[in-house]
Amino acid sequence: MELQQPANTERARTSDPFAPATVRHEAARRRSIAVISHPDAGKSTITEALALHARVINEAGAVHGKAGRSGVISDWLEMEQTRGISITSAALQFTYDDVVINLLDTPGHADFSEDTYRVLTAVDAAVMLLDSAKGLEPQTLKLFEVCRRRGVPVITFINKWDRPGQEALELCDELETRLGLRPTPVTWPIGPSGALAGLVDVASQGITFYERAPGGATLAVATPATMDEALERAEQDVTAAVESAGLLDAVDIPSFLRLETTPLLFGAALANIGVRELLDAIVRLAPAPSARVDRAGKPRELDAPFSGFVFKIQAGMDPNHRDHVAFIRVCSGAFERGAPVVHAQTGRSFATKYALAVLGRARHTVDVAYPGDVVGLVNATSLAVGDTVHATGPAVKFPPMPAFEPEHFVSARPADPSRSKQFRKGIAQLEQEGVVQVLVSEARGDGAPILAAVGPLQFEVASFRMEHEFHAVVVTHPLDLSVARRLAPEDAVQLSGVPGVELAHRGDGTLLALFRDEWRLRAVQRDRPDLVLASLIEDGALTA
């Protein structure tokens, strides 16, 4: 599969690519977008379809590979390809219509909500993908609430319109009643779900009919038509489409940015229908990067010296080198490969010789990056998720990355005791990446840590990677625990030996009390009214 060289590997056309005016100009050309949805709504498919329409790749694959084609570029882990689900988030960068798009695909499964949340801290808008037959599903609702809390505006794409599903106006009603978002159509389908013939551009009243390419590997055949030609070809469906779209408000950018409305598009990602229109909407409607608020509550202006934060760490992208890549969202200034940067958490400076722009698993060296871009720093092993990096000079720190409140717990130990060193190294790596939370129980010791997660699939990922990357097969044992609370060290004696309660330390030293269930927690609180058990939400965490 051929890949286009990412746009930000080229220096700015001005004489000084690091000048404030250049930084502001380049930031205005950026769009940083996440794709969110419930599992199986077609996220990875639309991610690849967008890359296909931007001419980044020549041929789209399917999640399991099809007709000799490779799997989708965003699902590069072996476990993702064999199971047909997105487990990690993936960063794709490409240029479309002279706009640099940083597109972040995310896991759809609820068990990987933490990874999705981290991605949403690194983008300026989101594309919310709905299955035409299923509408709003539980995970979509949760992810939209994260967008609402973070002020991330949402473009809605109703996918799979080439299959039987709900009526378009019913889906619009659902968006408004359940999310409080007024849909403002950008495109409207010609034909009911399951019989998609084409799309109406609502603003211009332009008509495009489509014929699906065989297997969906290449672009669908698009045939523009005048209104008279369209009426002659499919009068009833075209008339119904125009009349239905006319019942809704026109697109309004200010209300979209306030999360009061959502631009609405229809299509079929697998057939590559409606994807070009989505790209056009992203370029026209999605906001460019703006000043980020630092930990002190002060906006960091775009043309300030370089700064950024780590929103993801991924190891094993290159099986030949077992590298460790920290993905950084550039927030201000111009990042320059080779220039020293400061790790804000330690105050130490380090080199950035190996800096990458990525397209799924493929990589290219990046020389300069601007606000909104995502840069992968290779083997920056001191960095952790949520850390800030900045240019030498005055320090800056962005708010820490919240963690989700774990609901599942297992004990872990190496199947082969002679692999204990590899086991400890692997567990530490997974903790640093945020794959699982690692707790050390006072009763079990650090040789058998407790792994905590939002969902049990995270344990499968951890076990798979421990075996295949660190060659340390892990034996896990489910624990009868489901609730975690913060506990002051001086209060630990009150819970020592209490049935249904276990004490453990988090990596940052925080003491946690782990309870069998909410009923056990309430019983302990009733028997010990002076005991302070703080929710992890108060600690900057989130519930899933």
Asked if residue 308 and residue 241 are part of one domain, the reply reads no
Domain count, the chain: 3
HSE-CB for 93 with a 13 A CA cutoff? 28
Relative orientation angle of helices 43-53 and 275-285, to the nearest 10 degrees: 80
Q: What is the CATH number of the domain that holds 378?
A: 2.40.30.10
Q: Any idea what DSSP says for residue 306?
A: P
The pLDDT, as a whole number, for residue 273 is 93
Of the candidates 175, 172, 171, 229, the one whose C-alpha atom is nearest the C-alpha of residue 198 is 229
Domain co-membership, 304 together with 191: no
Strand 355-359 with 501-505, pairing: unpaired
**Residue numbers in the chain where pLDDT is lower than 70:** 1-15, 55-90, 106-113, 213-217, 315-323, 358-363, 403-404, 537-544
For residue 476, how many other CB atoms are within 10 A of its CB? 16
Same domain assignment for residues 450 and 467: yes
**Host H or E run for residue 120:** helix 113-120
DSSP secondary structure letters along 454-492: SSTHHHHHHHHHHHHHS---EEEEE-S--EEEEE-GGGH
Query: What whole-number distance in Å separates Cα of residue 343 and Cα of residue 64?
Result: 40
Please indicate, yes or no, if residue 4 is contained in any of the structural domains. no
Joined tokens for residue 327: 């993905």
CA distance 515 to 498: 10
Rounded to whole angstroms, the Cα distance separating 72 from 75 reads 6
Element containing residue 414 per DSSP (H, E): strand 408-414
Distance of alpha carbon 55 from the chain centroid: 23
Residue ranges with strand state E in 57-205 = 90-96, 99-105, 125-131, 154-159, 182-185, 187-190, 198-201
CB-count burial class (<10 Å; 0-12, 13-18, 19+) for 253? middle
Q: Are residues 97 and 221 in the same domain?
A: yes
Q: Which pLDDT score, from 0 to 100, does residue 395 have?
A: 93
Rounded to whole angstroms, the Cα distance separating 480 from 500 reads 8
In this structure, is the dihedral angle defined by the CA atoms of residues 381, 385, 390 and 392, taken in order, positive or negative?
negative
**Residue 15 resides in a domain:** no
Per residue in 462-477, pLDDT (tens digit) is 898 899 888 999 999 9
On whether residue 59 sits in a domain, the answer given is yes
**Model-level pTM?**
0.80
User: How far apart are alpha carbons 153 and 389 in whole angstroms?
Assistant: 26
* Residue 427 covered by a domain: yes
Residue 63 is predicted with a pLDDT of: 35
Closest residue by Cα to residue 403 from 384, 425, 375, 428:
384
Binding site membership: which residues? 105-109
**What pLDDT, on the 0 to 100 scale, is given for residue 318?**
52
Q: Which pLDDT does position 322 carry in this prediction?
A: 56
pLDDT confidence of residue 508: 80
- Of 254, 285, 316, at which residue does a domain stop? 285
Whether residue 20 lies inside any domain: the answer is no
Q: Which two structure tokens, joined as six digits, stand for 466?
A: 């421990």
DSSP string, 329-397: EEEES-EETTS-EEETTTTEEE---SEEEEETTEEEE-SEE-TT-EEEEET-TT--TT-EEEESSS---
Q: Is 149 within a domain?
A: yes
Distance CA 109, CA 89 (A): 11
- The secondary structure of residue 111, as a DSSP letter, is G
Q: Is 519 exposed, middle or buried (0-12, 13-18, 19+ CB in 10 A)?
A: exposed
d(CA 258, CA 252): 10
User: The tokens 């010990």 sit on which residue?
Assistant: 528
The last residue of a domain, from among 349, 365, 391: 391
Considering the domain architecture, whether residues 267 and 140 belong to the same structural domain is answered as yes
| DSSP assignment string, 198-256 | EEEETTTTEEEEEEPPGGG-SPPEEEEE-HHHHHHHHHHHHHHHHHHHTTSPPP-HHHH
**325 and 449 both lie in a single domain:** no
Dump pLDDT digits (tens) for 378-408: 878 888 889 999 999 999 999 988 766 788 9
Statement to judge: residues 239 and 360 lie in one domain = no
Q: Could you tell me which of 44, 75, 47, 70 has the C-alpha nearest to residue 59?
A: 70
Question: DSSP letter string over 165-208?
Answer: ---HHHHHHHHHHHH--EEEESEEEES-TT---EEEETTTTEEE
Does residue 130 sit within a domain? yes
CATH number at residue 239: 3.40.50.300
The token duo for 35 is 């794709």
pLDDT (0 to 100) of residue 69: 43
Same domain for 151 and 170 = yes
Domain with 46, as residue range(s), is 30-285
Q: Tell me which of 361, 391, 421 is where a domain ends.
A: 391
pLDDT value, residue 540: 54
What pLDDT score was predicted for residue 320? 56
Considering the domain architecture, whether residues 120 and 231 belong to the same structural domain is answered as yes
Please report, in range form, the residues annotated as the binding site for GTP: 105-109
Please report whether residue 396 resides in a domain: no
Give pLDDT, residue 75.
44
- Shared domain for 281 and 336, answered yes or no, is no
Residue recorded with tokens 């079929």: 268
Give yes or no: residues 280 and 301 share one domain: no
- Nearest CA among 43, 171, 42 for reference residue 119: 43
Does residue 161 share a domain with residue 102? yes
d(CA 62, CA 217): 9
Is the Cβ–Cβ distance between 110 and 145 less than 8 Å? Answer: no
pLDDT of residue 45: 83
